[in-house]
Structure 1
Amino acid sequence: MNHQTYDPHPDLESIVKCYWTLEVPDGSQAPKQRILPDGCIEMCFILGDDIKRFTSETEFTLQPKAFIIGQITAPYFVQPTGYVNSFAVRFYPYGFANFIQTPIKDLADKDTPLSQIFQSDVVSILIKEVENASSIQERIAAVEKFLLDLLASSSIQDEILKSTTDALYNTQGKASIHSILKEELSKRRKLERSFSKSVGISPKQLGRVIRLQAALKLMLNPKGQTLTQIAYESEYYDQAHFIKDFKDFTGVNPKEYLSDDQMMLSSVLYSKD
């Protein structure tokens, strides 16, 4: 399994968190993989064989070849049918809202084809450029041109939304919304509305997801900290609170996560940005 990340163009770095690639020579025998909430929205291109997204224990749909993965509010399962070759753009929580008029919450918990969001002729050109690119640099250049063209005709989200999200990331989800807003508490209701429209989840929910992601990285760190140490460092009230939050977002407890072969993909994706 080969997973790589790449930095965005300076003109996009406040909106795009990174680009990433995933390649597995033959994933057809891999077990289902659990995908977890991470607070981000992604534009994904399936360049290899089809990937199943399960809607129940036995039923599934095939993911589109080019699509948006909206905010994930509950874990779900995917499974490759063969060769895995994926390329994706990972947006900051507020980032993708800069490019569309559709409320972000309408994209939550589903895969939406790019052709349903943007002009189909423009999407067709983008998909061909991504598929025919001879290198990852060409692939990134095609996507960045597409995004920069869109950005030139859209408006940037308000500063309070960006500063709140940045504060949550900088504190690994530990800061409360009260402490972030400080003297701007009167703007809390506006912030909630902005998050609903542009992020798709509440600021409190995003903080919980970011803190969980930070805890996951500690769990995957070779230093081998105990769950009690991780709970303390992540500023949960206690280990019980950490385990409850963990299970809410992953569907399993921390010990099960570390030994579950359905977590191989998430361990790779979430061990680094």
Structure 2
Amino acid sequence: MNHQIFEPNNDLASLVKCYWTLESSKEDTPERNTIVPDGCMKLIFHYGDLYKHYPEDGSSISLPKCFLIGQLTKPYEVEPTGKTSTFFVCFHPNGFLPFASFPIKEMENTAVPLDKLFGNEGIEIGQEILTANSTSERINLIEDFLLRQLADNKNVDNILESTVETILTANGSLSVDELSKQNNINRRQLVRKFSSHIGLSPKQLSKTIRLQATLKKLLNSDVSSLTDLAYENEYYDQAHFIKDFKEFTGLTPKEFYGDHLKMSLIFDSKD
């Protein structure tokens, strides 16, 4: 798998985390992969062959060529049907709200076709990106499209933005009460804001960010003990770590380690 990461335009940097591409031949592509929740919604454009999704009921669904993947709260199984050539727009946890045409919570664990989000404009931008000749052209197209969508942008919610930044800085280790206190907002109000603006509760986003930080350490560090890794990332104990790990990946840390881990991190948002 070859992947590249690109920075957004300054006018979109508060909403868009990055753009990235993923490409491979059929021979380089794994049969099936688990996408692990990372707190970021993504626009996905398959200018290569389609992917299939495998829900928990054992069925298979062909994903659209162009869609938004809502907030994930559980592992999301996908499989390529051929050559992978994909362009991603990765939003910050609170970054998709200005573009949402219906409640973000309703998009949870769902692939939403672009026509449902943006009508005919969604169909048009999808076709333009699929037929573009280069990544730079795709980035220019999507940035022009998103900036047009921002014409009626709502004001930035400073408290929400500050709380998300606190979660990211602390790698998800703070409790909801601590987040409420640090950002001077009532706990119940904070939970409501997160649900409507991000599609996750503060606790869910914190658990997601903490697990992502742990996965990256598991991949990039010489980990001598899973117990040490659990304590280093401020889990109560190894049992707590394994419980959260299985919730988001469907596997234990030992089962998930190796190529499975590497591929899952490739499919998730980048630092």
Assess same fold via TM > 0.5: yes
Alignment of 1:15-30 (within 5 A): 15-26=15-26, 30=30
Q: 1:30 to 1:192 in 2, by over 3 A?
A: same
- Check whether the contact 2:194–2:200 (CA below 8 A) recurs between aligned residues: yes
One-letter amino acid matched to 1:197: S
- Check whether the contact 1:23–1:85 (CA below 8 A) recurs between aligned residues: yes
1:196 partner SS? helix
Alignment of 1:87-106 (within 5 A): 87-106=87-106
* Alignment match, 1:166: 165
* Alignment match, 2:267: 269
Once residues 85 and 123 of structure 2 are traced to their aligned partners in structure 1, the CA distance between those partners, rounded to angstroms, is 19
Runs of 4+ in 1 over 4 A off after TM superposition: 183-186, 261-264
Alignment of 1:1-273 (within 5 A): 1-26=1-26, 30-56=30-56, 58-120=58-120, 122-182=121-181, 186-259=185-258, 262-270=260-268, 272-273=270-271
1:95 partner SS? coil
Q: TM-score, normalised by structure 1?
A: 0.92
- 1:52 Cα deviation after fit: 0.5
- 1:264 Cα deviation after fit: 4.7
RMSD: 2.0
One-letter amino acid matched to 2:204: Q
- 1:57 Cα deviation after fit: 6.1
2:43 partner SS? strand
Once residues 155 and 29 of structure 1 are traced to their aligned partners in structure 2, the CA distance between those partners, rounded to angstroms, is 41
- 1:186 Cα deviation after fit: 4.8
Per mean C-alpha deviation after superposition, the further-off stretch among 53-62 and 141-150 is 53-62
Deviations 1:60-82 (A, max 9, x none): 11111110100111112110010
Q: 1:268 to 1:184 in 2, by over 3 A?
A: closer
Deviations 1:86-116 (A, max 9, x none): 1111111111011124110100111010101
Equivalent pairs, count: 271
1:53 partner SS? strand
- 1:181 Cα deviation after fit: 2.9
Once residues 10 and 225 of structure 1 are traced to their aligned partners in structure 2, the CA distance between those partners, rounded to angstroms, is 41
One-letter amino acid matched to 1:210: I
- Check whether the contact 2:34–2:77 (CA below 8 A) recurs between aligned residues: yes
Once residues 215 and 10 of structure 1 are traced to their aligned partners in structure 2, the CA distance between those partners, rounded to angstroms, is 30
Q: 1:184 to 1:262 in 2, by over 3 A?
A: closer
- 1:226 Cα deviation after fit: 2.4
Q: 1:149 to 1:251 in 2, by over 3 A?
A: same
- 1:119 Cα deviation after fit: 2.3
Once residues 50 and 213 of structure 1 are traced to their aligned partners in structure 2, the CA distance between those partners, rounded to angstroms, is 26
One-letter amino acid matched to 1:19: Y
Identity of aligned pairs, percent? 45
2:78 partner SS? strand
- Check whether the contact 1:69–1:110 (CA below 8 A) recurs between aligned residues: yes
One-letter amino acid matched to 1:144: E
- 1:185 Cα deviation after fit: 5.1
- Check whether the contact 2:41–2:90 (CA below 8 A) recurs between aligned residues: yes
- Check whether the contact 1:27–1:80 (CA below 8 A) recurs between aligned residues: no
Per mean C-alpha deviation after superposition, the further-off stretch among 263-272 and 37-46 is 263-272
Q: 1:101 to 1:125 in 2, by over 3 A?
A: closer
- Check whether the contact 1:231–1:242 (CA below 8 A) recurs between aligned residues: yes
